[in-house]
């Protein structure tokens, strides 16, 4: 978690650092700060609160200088406070550091450094870094950083500035993302690409175990022992405007509206319309390997894991391979039964989620082949997987995932059909039925988006609720999980999803007069059962909103509000039914006055365990 930036060149550093930090605020926003070198010393401005508070401080007391570092924080060790905000310093104010990650052995290191006389000012794990570098400093910043890194365990992306060496910044990466934007007589450092895009499209993506000495005139990449490593720049093709709001009030609303385009792009080039089959260019699994698969594990977090729940249903139904879905934070600690005859599917929008990445590495260590579904080219997940499906959602900035989820679902549809087709167990007719329906999805999502005004009107009625329940069966249950997560993370209303048949085993006790229940009813073979479950909650005087298929006028008779989605193939409904759930969460949160793009306590990219 946290976003870090650095700049060295001829421009004033502060505007460049602040501009970069603004684009990284999705990584954390509970405090922020910058350190700049000027006239032989390091000056720092930092504060608890959003970046705008640092901007205000800097307006009052500007920090001139052409080399500097910056940070936007998501607290892990030490509550959000001025003292815990980065950058942190050594005892002599000679060295300043910004860090993203967790130094796991910081208590041990802190005690050791305190015994040596170092004075600490914060409760953070990060502060051991400047003190450790100070401890090893003999005039060369690079060597001191190398020595310090040998002592450090855990995850880090860091930028170090030293007042004795304003000619360079030293950066290093292990298990937290870090990129270097390559300019002319200037260079940029950031946790993520959008932060440097206004200045350059050529970047170095640092790998784990790599560090770099960044000067205005050039960048030298090496391992932690100083052995120089050849590095090829990566040229970014996508546009910065894709990462901006484009006239919408919030990124989340913009991203909800981008779903037709995102789904269309993710599908492009992956359906052979002549043979009506799926083509996955970066999946190298042969038919023989697919036939040997005994088990598939899906490993992911949050929304991505709920996409995995849909994926399980699809793969088991179409390809007849058993699938287990694991939360990545649980997977590697439960001694999973994974081996050479299993495939692990890693789903991650960012491709940098620490738990998910650890799951990927655990699966590989156990001999499993790994297929990644991710949205970020060049991310750790994309680079470390054997096979890849890229979701072409474009940059997702809002913390609440929307277009990443629908494109993950689309990728899982493609994958399930691909596995079934390579195993020779799906008929051409069935394939055609699904693929043709898939090609209609972008237009159908547009139709669902046209119901926005209706959703906006009634969502406001739920803003003061304390609890909302989401119910569904089969695929509708999987989508309910995502609907409940969306609502709770941005509106702070307690929301839970239940398999509708499970209500009577306990949860029905919570259903009393006026409790809202959102019922998803899109699966024809489960229709009668769902109507019975709706009647059960109505009998307890719940207020029921139903999400039903176009033409279903019976459901209407049993509920208080109804929304319809267009008819599609039974297995494809989740990609349409999630859209009203996203809009419902968005407008309920807006009616409550919440900051939908930056919900409290959360961050977009969770790069700590």
Q: Which residues are catalytic?
A: 2, 604
Report DSSP state, residue 424: T
DSSP string covering 507-552: GGGG--TT-EEEEEE--GGGHHHHHHHHHHHHHTT-EEEEEEETT-
On the CB side of 221, CA atoms within 13 Å amount to: 18
* Run of H or E residues at 204: strand 202-205
Give 162 or 358: the residue with its C-beta nearer to ligand M6R: 358
Give 43 or 407: the residue with its C-beta nearer to ligand M6R: 407
Residue 54 CB, shortest distance to ligand M6R, in Å, is 25
Cα(438)–Cα(424) distance, integer angstroms: 20
Report DSSP state, residue 504: G
CB atoms within 10 A of CB 214: 25
Residue 68 CB, shortest distance to ligand M6R, in Å, is 29
Residue 247 CB, shortest distance to ligand M6R, in Å, is 23
Report DSSP state, residue 228: B
* Run of H or E residues at 373: strand 369-374
On the question of a cis peptide bond just before residue 87, with omega within 30 degrees of 0, the verdict is: yes
Q: Judge contact between 348 and 329, C-beta under 8 A.
A: no
Cα dihedral angle (271, 273, 276, 280), rounded to 10 degrees? Answer: -20
Angle 252-258-259 from CA coordinates, rounded to 5°: 100
Give 222 or 582: the residue with its C-beta nearer to ligand M6R: 582
Residue 582 CB, shortest distance to ligand M6R, in Å, is 10
Give 303 or 421: the residue with its C-beta nearer to ligand M6R: 303
Give 252 or 503: the residue with its C-beta nearer to ligand M6R: 252
Give 255 or 476: the residue with its C-beta nearer to ligand M6R: 255
Give 301 or 419: the residue with its C-beta nearer to ligand M6R: 301
Q: Judge contact between 279 and 271, C-beta under 8 A.
A: yes
Give 342 or 356: the residue with its C-beta nearer to ligand M6R: 356
Q: Which residue is nearest to ligand M6R (CB)?
A: 302
On the CB side of 468, CA atoms within 13 Å amount to: 29
* Run of H or E residues at 102: strand 95-103
Work out whether the CA dihedral 331, 333, 334, 338 comes out positive or negative. positive
Q: Which two tokens stand for residue 519?
A: 């019922």
Cα(289)–Cα(285) distance, integer angstroms: 6
Give 127 or 362: the residue with its C-beta nearer to ligand M6R: 362
Binding site for ligand M6R (CB under 6 A): 301-304, 348-350, 353, 356, 399-401, 485, 489, 606
Secondary structure class of 320 (helix, strand, coil): coil
* Run of H or E residues at 258: none
Residue 1 CB, shortest distance to ligand M6R, in Å, is 10
Contacts of 415 (CB under 8 A, 6+ apart): 278, 280, 283, 311, 315, 345, 371, 373, 389
Residue 400 CB, shortest distance to ligand M6R, in Å, is 4
Residue 176 CB, shortest distance to ligand M6R, in Å, is 14
Give 561 or 586: the residue with its C-beta nearer to ligand M6R: 586
- Token pair 């993302």: residue: 177
Cα(261)–Cα(268) distance, integer angstroms: 10
DSSP string covering 164-187: T-TT-EEEEEEBS--EEEE-SS-E
Give 130 or 302: the residue with its C-beta nearer to ligand M6R: 302
Cα(8)–Cα(38) distance, integer angstroms: 12
Nearest alpha-carbon partner for 212 in 154, 145, 136: 145
Cα(391)–Cα(379) distance, integer angstroms: 13
Tell me the pairing of strands 543-549 and 516-521. Answer: parallel
Q: Judge contact between 359 and 332, C-beta under 8 A.
A: yes
Residue 401 CB, shortest distance to ligand M6R, in Å, is 4
Residue 605 CB, shortest distance to ligand M6R, in Å, is 6
Q: Judge contact between 601 and 470, C-beta under 8 A.
A: no
């Amino acid at each position: 978690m946290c976003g870090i930036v650095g700049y060295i060149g001829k421009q004033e550093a502060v505007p460049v650092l602040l501009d970069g930090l603004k684009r990284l605020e999705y990584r954390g926003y509970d405090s922020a700060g910058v350190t700049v070198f000027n006239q032989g010393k390091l000056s720092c401005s930092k504060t608890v609160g959003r970046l705008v508070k640092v901007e205000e401080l800097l307006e009052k007391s500007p920090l001139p200088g052409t080399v500097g570092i910056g940070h936007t924080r998501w607290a892990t060790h030490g509550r959000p406070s001025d003292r815990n905000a980065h950058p942190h310093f050594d005892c002599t104010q000679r060295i300043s550091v910004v860090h993203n990650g967790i130094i796991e052995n910081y208590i041990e290191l802190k005690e050791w450094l305190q015994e040596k006389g170092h004075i600490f000012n914060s409760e953070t794990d990060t502060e051991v870094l400047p003190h450790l570098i100070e401890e090893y400093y003999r005039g060369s910043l690079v060597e001191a950083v190398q020595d310090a890194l040998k002592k450090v365990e855990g995850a880090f992306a860091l930028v170090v500035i030293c007042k004795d060496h304003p000619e360079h910044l030293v950066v290093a990466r292990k298990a937290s993302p870090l990129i270097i934007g390559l300019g002319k007589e200037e260079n940029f450092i950031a946790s993520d690409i959008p932060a440097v895009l206004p200045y350059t499209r050529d970047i170095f993506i640092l790998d784990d175990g790599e560090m770099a000495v960044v000067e205005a005139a050039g960048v030298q990449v090496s391992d932690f022992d100083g052995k120089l490593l050849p590095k090829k720049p990566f040229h970014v093709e996508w546009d910065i405007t894709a990462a901006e709001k484009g006239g919408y009030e919030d990124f989340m609303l913009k991203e909800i509206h981008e779903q037709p385009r995102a789904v269309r792009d993710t599908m492009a080039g992956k359906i052979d319309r002549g043979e009506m089959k799926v083509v996955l260019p970066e999946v190298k699994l042969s038919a023989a390997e697919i036939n040997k698969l005994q088990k598939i594990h899906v490993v992911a977090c949050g929304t991505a894991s709920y996409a995995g729940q849909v994926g399980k249903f699809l793969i088991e139904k179409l390809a007849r391979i058993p699938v287990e879905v694991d939360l990545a934070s649980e997977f590697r600690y439960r001694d999973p039964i994974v081996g050479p005859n299993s495939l692990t599917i890693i789903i991650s929008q960012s491709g940098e989620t620490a738990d998910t990445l650890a799951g990927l590495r655990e699966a590989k260590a156990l001999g499993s082949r790994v297929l990644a579904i991710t949205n970020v080219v060049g991310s750790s997940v994309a680079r470390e997987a054997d096979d890849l499906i890229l979701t072409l959602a474009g940059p997702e900035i809002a913390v609440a995932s929307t277009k990443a989820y629908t494109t993950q679902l689309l990728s899982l549809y493609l994958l399930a059909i691909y596995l079934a087709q390579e195993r020779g167990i799906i008929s051409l007719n069935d394939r055609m039925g699904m693929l043709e329906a898939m090609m209609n999805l972008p237009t159908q999502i547009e139709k669902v988006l046209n119901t926005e005004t209706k959703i906006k009107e009634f969502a406001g009625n739920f803003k003061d609720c304390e609890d909302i329940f989401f119910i569904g069966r089969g695929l509708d249950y999987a989508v309910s999980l995502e609907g409940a997560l969306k609502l709770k993370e941005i509106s702070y209303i307690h929301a839970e999803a239940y398999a509708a048949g499970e209500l009577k085993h306990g949860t029905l006790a919570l259903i009393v007069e006026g409790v809202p229940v959102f019922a998803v009813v899109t699966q024809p073979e489960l229709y009668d059962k769902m109507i019975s479950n709706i009647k059960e909650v109505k009998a307890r005087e719940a207020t029921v909103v139903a999400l039903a298929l176009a033409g279903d006028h019976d459901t209407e008779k049993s509920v208080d509000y109804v929304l319809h989605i267009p008819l599609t193939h039974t297995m494809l409904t989740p990609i349409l039914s999630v859209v009203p759930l996203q809009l419902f969460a968005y407008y309920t949160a807006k009616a409550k006055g919440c900051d939908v793009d930056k919900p409290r306590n959360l961050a977009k990219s969770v790069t700590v365990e």
